[in-house]
Structure 1
Amino acid sequence: MQPPIRVLIVDDHALFAEALAARLSREPDLVVLPVAPDGRRALALTATERPHVIVLDLSLGAESGLDVLDRVRERHPDVRVVVLTATDEVDAIVRAVRRGAVGFLVKTEGADLVARVVRGAARRGGWIPPDVLGDVLRRLLDDDAGQGGTRLPAGLTPREREVLQCLVDGLNRAEIAARLGLSANTVRTHTQNLLAKLDVHSVLEAITLAMRAGMRPGDRG
């Protein structure tokens, strides 16, 4: 049995935050901590309650959620941050990903998807809305243009490179397992090792790094 995932919701919209907390609390594998309405409370609860995942709004009254994200990442780099906010603009997603968010959701999404993204984040996965994922990746790549060539670490095994190519191809864990003839647990282990070797926090970052190094969907060989 995996230990429950501790979740901290940071949102100054009390009715929305409490409703989301109540809904996520019904998930047997999630433990929802007291809601934080601002950055000060979020950092205090993160220090004392040790959440695995923070669900963060980008608009916290006069306070920027991105600034809270920066402080969380600086003080608690192992905590995974999923943005849940009102906008789905590509610029907002790119800024959040660049500052360490591993997932991005809009508030119109259902709680079932929020729960799935939280679980994925806790397991070093990530989530970007599929309809803007291509635009987000292109922006990340364009923003990195001119910074010099990127190379993948020499220590990647052939199997890890195969898994990385599958991620670039947009496959999920079950699809990677089917393509490579592996179990889903083995794929998970390879993915975790891959993220560690690439020194990234999410699958999205791994894909971005791989594409900067020249990997493209459909590549073989």
Structure 2
Amino acid sequence: MSTDDIKARPPIRLVLADDHALVRQGLRSLLDLTPDLRVVGEAADGEEAVRRVAELNPDVVLMDVRMPRMTGLEALHALRRTDPSRRVVLLTTFDEDAAIIEALRAGVQGFLLKDVSMEELADAIRRVAAGETLLPPGVAERVARGVAELPRDFPHADLPEGLTRREVEVLRLIARGMSNREIAQALGTAEGTVKNQTSSILSKLGVRDRTRAVLRAMELGCL
């Protein structure tokens, strides 16, 4: 995204939730230095995060996984119950497969470790705000290891006959955490074509977002 593009758009409004005050202050200071991002509220635990989101209606919620009273995962479930379209990015210092799997099942749009760079975090927030689901690189392989333990959210079925070989290829790139633009570059096609293919994939798999498309495809054995 160019500097002119950033200046031309209204800032992305964020609610930041973390039980460590110093972490919140540090993240807020860094995020507020980014022209197109603005922290409009903070919370010290999951319960407060749910209240602040209801009050402020931010574009994106940036939330720690481990918090007192109500964890980030519990808050994610609460937020998704009241607004299934709520955009949430979870942050953690722990590389935990179980937390990632639960967050994906709950429909989280982003999941990042706290050791990401400021540039990576800002890019993740922009992508989630724009409607993308941010799957970290390699997440498909890690989720596949635990997918057999998940309660089935989808009926068992054969691979839909209408899913083309190219759409399966796009699905595999989505599972690697690639954006539509990156997929288009990898496949040598237009970004608009990838968007159309992604919409077709969601429709054929009977799911509402990229995350659940990846989980559904793994259940069907095509990833």
Cα shift at 1:99? 2.1
Cα shift at 1:199? 2.8
Counterpart residue number, 2:29 = 22
Using the TM superposition, name which of 138-147 and 2-11 deviates more: 138-147
Using the TM superposition, name which of 206-215 and 7-16 deviates more: 206-215
Q: Which runs of 5+ in 2 are unaligned?
A: 1-7
Paired with 2:53 and 2:158, the residues of 1 have a C-alpha distance of 35
Counterpart residue number, 1:182 = 189
Cα shift at 1:17? 0.9
Is residue 150–residue 209 contact of structure 1 (8 Å, CA) maintained in 2?
A: no
Q: Which runs of 5+ in 1 are unaligned?
A: 217-221
Say whether 1:100 aligns with 2:104. Answer: no
**Equivalent runs, 1:54-65 vs 2, <5 Å:** 54-65=61-72
> AA paired with 1:200?
R
Paired with 1:146 and 1:45, the residues of 2 have a C-alpha distance of 30
Q: What percent of counterpart residues are identical? A: 33
> AA paired with 1:43?
V
**Equivalent runs, 1:21-100 vs 2, <5 Å:** 21-100=28-107
Paired with 1:187 and 1:173, the residues of 2 have a C-alpha distance of 6
Paired with 1:168 and 1:12, the residues of 2 have a C-alpha distance of 36
Using the TM superposition, name which of 102-111 and 5-14 deviates more: 102-111
Is residue 10–residue 38 contact of structure 1 (8 Å, CA) maintained in 2?
A: yes
SS at match of 2:156: coil
Cα shift at 1:178? 3.8
Using the TM superposition, name which of 124-133 and 85-94 deviates more: 124-133
Is residue 124–residue 192 contact of structure 1 (8 Å, CA) maintained in 2?
A: no
- Normalised TM-score (structure 2): 0.78
- Normalised TM-score (structure 1): 0.79
Q: Aligned residues, how many?
A: 212
Say whether 1:205 aligns with 2:221. Answer: no
Is residue 65–residue 73 contact of structure 2 (8 Å, CA) maintained in 1?
A: yes
Deviations 1:136-162 (A, max 9, x none): 2332255357975235678x786xx73
**Equivalent runs, 1:131-210 vs 2, <5 Å:** 133-143=140-150, 149-150=156-157, 162-169=166-173, 170=176, 172-178=179-185, 181-192=188-199, 194-195=201-202, 198-201=206-209, 203-210=210-217
Counterpart residue number, 1:11 = 18
Paired with 2:48 and 2:74, the residues of 1 have a C-alpha distance of 14
Counterpart residue number, 2:3 = none
